[in-house]
A and B are shown apart, each in its own frame.
Chain A
Amino acid sequence: MSRSADNNRTHHAVFAGVVGAAVLAASVAAQQNLNLPAREVTARTAAAAAKPDPLAFAAALASERIPAGFVIVGESTPSYDSAAISQYSMAPVSLTRAVDFFLKMHPGFTLEDQSAWALVLRSKERSSCDAPLRRSFRAPAISGSGLEAFWRLALLVSPDTIPQAPPGIVCGGGECSDLEPKTGLPVTIPPGELTLQDGLSQTAGQAGLVWLLQEVVSPQTGERSCRFSYFAGDSRMETGYVLGRSSRPR
């Protein structure tokens, strides 16, 4: 489904495309069918979809282990209170409805349907994240934690800027407990041709994470850079990986 078609079709129709893609991928690749549209989310997550900050929804999905990806243009500060999720007792709603709500509240976003592994919500605005995200490359077999898979994919796309050392996680505050869930569940990606978006979503789908590409602008130089981070459970994980740059003004 093309991006231009989004304006002419209902969000439900878009979501139906996701269902079809998911079923097709499951039958062809014999991989897990996440059946995302059939999932339910808490009313709290649905409410997060309405918040002005799109990252609130990303964090909410992560807290429910619903694999997703977000491409966002511009600075954003999550206002999401993850601690309140468990206290939220209202009736759940379908993920389809929550995404529909998100798209209505954020008309600058569109739902991509290429991935069977994860929901991908992206800004319609062009950004320095577009090129790396669509870049196709031949990937070796990748296995390891979600963090390791993300790192290997980033290395394939941007070998000059991504650290060569194996990735690690440190905690920046709080109790420093439960580090392991922050890396995500084990991931296996077979060797073959894939785009970065496919790789990220496969990783998110298997590891139960939400990936985020965010274009930010340097106030000093005006340079735009595409930065990668992800949400794991109730935590936001800052990798510091820069996957693309552009000096072209927005």
Chain B
Amino acid sequence: MSGRQEVGRRVGRIQITIAVVSLAVLWTSPVAAQNPSAGVSLWQDSGFQASASSQPQVETQSAAETLWYCEGFAASSEPWLNADVHLRLKLDSTILADAYYSANYWGATYTLSRTVAAEPYARTISCEILVQDMNGSASGSQSAQITPRTPQDLRSVPPDSFTYRSPGDYLRTGIWEVWDSYGLPWTYSGFPVTESFATGHNGCNLTFGTDSASTNSQGRFQDRCGNVTGNQTIPACALPQYQQCQTESTQTIVVAGYSFSHNVTWGCFDVQISRQ
């Protein structure tokens, strides 16, 4: 990163004003340009009196949507010159908005704004400015990270169903819905869902076959627990002495890298799931 860009990061709305004043002083007293202000510093570096700055400002609209402002200030290097200015608001490498305008010696500001929705992955929004005139160029940028929407809660979507045929032959079907760190349904499809089990007391001598799935377009996925396919009973449940058996387990579901644990109690006649 160039020194000029670092300057751009530090220049805010108030500092821009200071830079303008400094430039006015410069008109009569070049020595004043030695003042360690942002605008002066930039000017010394490039031999160019334009000041370039940008800084995204945030205004929250809703939990998962944010209005971003990108404001740029520029001034030409000479009183008789106009500088060409290119200001743009970028999301990662995509340009969300941009504008071209002119700036004279006394400077001009321009503001861009766009609403950006959070996504399930982190993104970088940046405001960039490029100022050019016949004496040279200056640039500046400021960036910020957009907090990703991440899974934070699993909620069961009714109705759950429970199919029972005989002791140890049942299937509980549930639908999980993912809620995110913004307190909204996390409606993203194709994200991996895996699970694992830690077994506690294992009175029914159950071995857990784990599976993987993906979220659907509603951010939901199905969770089927049991043994009903092909009328395969839990063997212990076929024996009278074990029909009251119970197996305690902790089911950990991992959605897009975020884990959620539940206590699951398995018996010959039912399976109970409770949030941990």
Contacts and interface: CB of A to CB of B under 8 A. Distances in A.
B204 A168 contact: yes
Interface residues of B, number: 46
Specify the main secondary structure of chain B where it touches its partner.
strand
Contact of B224 (A147, A165, A171): A171
A180 interface: yes
B145 interface: no
Given A177-B229, A180-B230, A172 B205 contact: no
A178 to B, nearest CB: 8
Contact of B226 (A171, A235, A236): A171
Interface in B151-171: 168, 171
Interface string A217-250: 0000000000000001001111110000000000
Nearest to B204: A165
B55 to A, nearest CB: 40
Contacts of A168: 168, 204-207, 227, 233-237
B209 interface: yes
Contacts of A170: 206-209, 225-227, 234, 266
A147 B207 contact: yes
Contacts of B266: 170
Measured as residues with beta carbon below 8 angstroms from the partner, the interface class of chain A is 20 to 34
Interface string B235-253: 1110100100101010101
A181 to B, nearest CB: 10
Contacts of B192: 81
Interface in A144-184: 147, 151, 163-180, 182
Contact of A173 (B195, B229, B234, B239): B195
A83 interface: yes
A165 B211 contact: no
Contacts of B226: 170-171, 176
B148 interface: no
Interface of A: 77, 81-83, 147, 151, 163-180, 182, 232, 235-240
Given A170-B209, A180-B230, A235-B210, 12 more contacts: A147-B207, A163-B202, A169-B232, A170-B225, A170-B234, A171-B208, A172-B209, A179-B209, A179-B230, A236-B196, A238-B210, A240-B249
